[in-house]
Chain A
Amino acid sequence: MFEYGHMSTAAVLTPEPVIDEPAARSTQSVQQLQARIRSMQATKLDSRLIPTHPAIAGLLPGGGLKQGAVYSVERSAMLLMTLLAGPSAAGSWCAVVGVPEFGVEAAQRFGIDLERLVLVPHPGDDWLTVTAAVADVMGVVVTRPPKRATDSSIARLSARLRQRGATLLVLGSWPQSEAMLSLSQSQWHGIGEGHGHLAAREVTVTVTNRVTGRPRSARLWLPDADEQVRRSASASAGFSTMPREATG
């Protein structure tokens, strides 16, 4: 009790609260509490990352894809395949639900093992049930919601994913995603006006963290002329935490 009184006296005496307005102070404490809650919740999940492509891992919160988390990917099959390739090569089974136009051969070229890839192209209205059933047994599940799911069913699915340790990649938006990955400033190389062919693409990948709301982006070859995905050496489009790799 005394200590409490002492501390409160000290707090009053410090100059900062005098400068801060009460609203800002409450915001700060809310943020601190949220960070504390997050850190307590996240201790188990942060420790379990699934193999992620190094060019993208640095952009993701926590340094890679987490087990039991949901990520939303905006309309890019190649980015999706890059994310799937790591866990697939490490022996995970992958499932793609509700994406009938998933390019199988491109997936193989990106390094996804077709022996451990399962497609459910037309789940219909049962897409949420099917996704949950598949997530019970698969390491990574891709799904595309045909319509918005209810909050309660999303919460149920999230709990199931956490319990099973499966990672869900959603094509489109998802309310409780860990992060949102999107592409912009796509630039194709190797093709001219009536000559050449599509050979390589430079693109800016932006990862928006749900919690902090701060986007991180990097310029990537997706893919380069050798069908590899790597950081581009040209002018970066934004903040990057990873040291840039040398490019040829």
Chain B
Amino acid sequence: MSPHTRRAAPIRIPADAALSPRHPGGGELPGATIPRVMVLWCPDWPITAAIHEARPASDAVALIDKGLVYASSAAARADGVTRGLRLREAQARCPALVVLDYDPAVDNRVFEPIIAGLEQLTPHVQVLRPGMCALRVRGVAQYYGGEKGAALALAGRMDELGAGQTRAGVADGIFTAEQAARGSRGGHGRVRVVAPGESAAFLAPLDVGLLDDAALVTLLRRLGVRTLGNFAALPADDVRTRFGEPGRRLHALASGRDSWPLVPRTPPDDFDVVIDFEPALDRVDQVAFGVRTAAERFIDALTAAKLACTAIRVELLSDAADVSERVWLHPRSFTPADVVDRVRWQLQGSGVIDAGLSAGIIRVNITPEAVDAIGNHESGLWGTGPDERIHHGLSRVQSMLGHGAVLMPSIGGGRTLGDRQQLVAWGDRPVGVRQVAQPWPGRLPVPLPGTVFEPRHPVHVFGAGGVAVVVDERGALSAAPAELSAGATVLGIGSWAGPWPVDERWWSQDARRCWRFQAVDSTGCAWLLVLDEGGWWAEARYD
């Protein structure tokens, strides 16, 4: 399974612990136990994650957030691309720079499988932020025979999982361990162990700017307090009186008395269902039958976790190594039969149900893409009104004819009738709809035709002498239209209007240029005719 399909893990930050009623007083009271903590840190994590995701050609990579450099790789830093630089200047300093947009979701998504791999060695890992995690050191230290050995082993495991040059710090409390990891060097010195009780001495020479409160740090600097040691030397009661509870907490951190316990994450439940077929199945109905039990298991597992699934991702892998991947939405929530239907529709595309496939299917992977608490999807005591009935009726038609057979219309922006009518399959949401509220000069005057041919029909228009009518470059008609013929049918044209030029997107590749006419035939029926390079077309009928 590729990391792209896995949902981003819920990241627990230590702030949760601060709000937790179990630890009301912080932990800086004398005598409170301060846990031994190991922090594993992957330097330049945003860069590592972006390279993993985008696989750029060059080593020099910079992530851009709001037009400024957010992070840069070592090769880019060597050329002077630093954080906070403007994009244009960064490109000037390093012409080979590959610029990517910073996406916090990528950080989380790529870090998730690494944590999952680490959890195979040791449980109770707390993710501090993407690229940094903390764990209780006691168990692993006993297993690996020492704190340093344990840190080296786990950092090596992180490297194997693709985390880059992981560094580790072991100390009393999360804050001190994090500073130890940051203070370590690369290579053999990548693990820094601060002995128990040495935290205050280790932190004392460090800059006060490490505290995560910009206003307080500024104020402390102006007061002449420049190191954590200076700050820790202030009397705790005075700090509390002046800066309140947050200040007291930071003062405890600076003194090396960070007794917040680790809050290990709960590994997210894995609801993915993978069905392997051996040998490969090459018929749609066989695959649909094979998926049925797994679909029931999939929905049962979600229901047991009190979840209702509103979107699934279906991945189909064929023995020709083709991967077909699609997200299916559901207007309500999926039932096992709905899941089987989606797999079948994805397989058959526009074909019929018992059609053969071009390549055999060897694996089907079903992932919940969006879940919701099941309480929000419970039907009322007397049912939930007419909508449910309509959904069931239309789903029945969909399972007979295919997903795209039942369409909901809406009006989008555009000039031609075909552009303006948007049809979306029942259950999907419209994508990329052009704004209908914009003026759209050149659209048809009302009344609009009730019959819009899809596809439009080729016709011929003749003048009085039976010669074909054409329009020249300047928009002049060669003759007044007198006859309209489609196949063997020939109708006289009574009144007509046009040509109206439609010249769309003349600046681009998909330019479209045509002339529009309205014509009333001898039976009193009116037509919308279009003349383009391909000749005359009947686009719509006013009937």
Q: Is the CB of B393 within 8 A of A188?
A: no
Decide if A238 is an interface residue (CB 8 Å cutoff): no
Docked Cα-Cα span, A197 to B448, in Å, equals 11
Starting from the known contacts A105-B420, A119-B409, 12 additional A-B residue pairs (CB-CB under 8 Å) come to A80-B450, A109-B446, A120-B407, A133-B396, A134-B394, A137-B390, A137-B392, A191-B497, A196-B497, A198-B526, A223-B447, A227-B447
Q: Is the CB of B417 within 8 A of A130?
A: no
Q: Which residues of chain A are near B225, meaning CB under 8 Å? A: none
Decide if B525 is an interface residue (CB 8 Å cutoff): yes
Q: Is the CB of B543 within 8 A of A78?
A: yes
Decide if B73 is an interface residue (CB 8 Å cutoff): no
Given known A-B contacts A76-B543, A103-B450, A186-B524, A123 and B421 have beta carbons under 8 A apart: no
- Contact of A197 (CB < 8 Å), options: B411, B417, B445, B541: B445
Q: Most chain-A CB neighbours within 10 Å: which of B389, B405, B448?
A: B448
Docked Cα-Cα span, A136 to B394, in Å, equals 10
Given known A-B contacts A133-B396, A134-B397, A187-B524, A106 and B450 have beta carbons under 8 A apart: yes
| Interchain pairs with CB closer than 8 A, number | 154
Q: Is the CB of A191 within 8 A of B446?
A: no
List 5 interface pairs A-B (beta carbons < 8 Å), by A numbering.
A114-B408, A195-B497, A197-B497, A198-B526, A227-B447
Q: Most chain-B CB neighbours within 10 Å: which of A104, A123, A203?
A: A104
- Contact of B524 (CB < 8 Å), options: A80, A185, A193, A194: A185
Decide if B410 is an interface residue (CB 8 Å cutoff): yes
CB distance from A144 to the nearest CB of B (A): 12
B residues adjacent to A (C-beta < 8 A)? 386, 389-390, 392-394, 396-397, 400-401, 405-411, 417, 420-421, 423, 426, 445-454, 477, 480, 495-498, 518, 520, 523-526, 540-543
Docked Cα-Cα span, A119 to B405, in Å, equals 8
Chain A: which residue is nearest B445 at the CB level? A197
Q: Which residues of chain A are near B449, meaning CB under 8 Å? A: 77, 103, 106
Q: Is the CB of A186 within 8 A of B525?
A: yes
Q: Is the CB of B421 within 8 A of A198?
A: no
Q: Is the CB of A137 within 8 A of B497?
A: no
Q: Which residues of chain B are near A102, meaning CB under 8 Å? A: 450-452
Docked Cα-Cα span, A186 to B526, in Å, equals 9
CB distance from B197 to the nearest CB of A (A): 70
Q: Is the CB of A130 within 8 A of B401?
A: yes
Q: Is the CB of B520 within 8 A of A191?
A: yes
Q: Is the CB of B448 within 8 A of A106?
A: yes
Docked Cα-Cα span, A124 to B400, in Å, equals 11
Q: Is the CB of B447 within 8 A of A109?
A: yes
3 closest A-B pairs (Cβ-Cβ)?
A77-B450, A137-B393, A186-B524
A residues 99-121 in Cβ contact with B at 8 Å: 100-109, 114, 117-121
Decide if A138 is an interface residue (CB 8 Å cutoff): yes
CB distance from B205 to the nearest CB of A (A): 68
Q: Most chain-A CB neighbours within 10 Å: which of B396, B423, B453?
A: B396
- Contact of A114 (CB < 8 Å), options: B406, B411, B454, B524: B411
Q: Which residues of chain B are near A100, meaning CB under 8 Å? A: 454
Decide if A71 is an interface residue (CB 8 Å cutoff): no
Q: Which residues of chain A are near B405, meaning CB under 8 Å? A: 120-123
Q: Is the CB of A193 within 8 A of B523?
A: no
Q: 0/1 per residue, A123-146, Cβ < 8 Å to B?
A: 110100110011011100000000
Q: Is the CB of A188 within 8 A of B520?
A: yes
Q: Which residues of chain A are near B498, meaning CB under 8 Å? A: 194
Q: Which residues of chain A are near B420, meaning CB under 8 Å? A: 104-105
Docked Cα-Cα span, A196 to B4, in Å, equals 58
Q: Which residues of chain A are near B423, meaning CB under 8 Å? A: 104, 119
Decide if A160 is an interface residue (CB 8 Å cutoff): no
CB distance from B495 to the nearest CB of A (A): 5
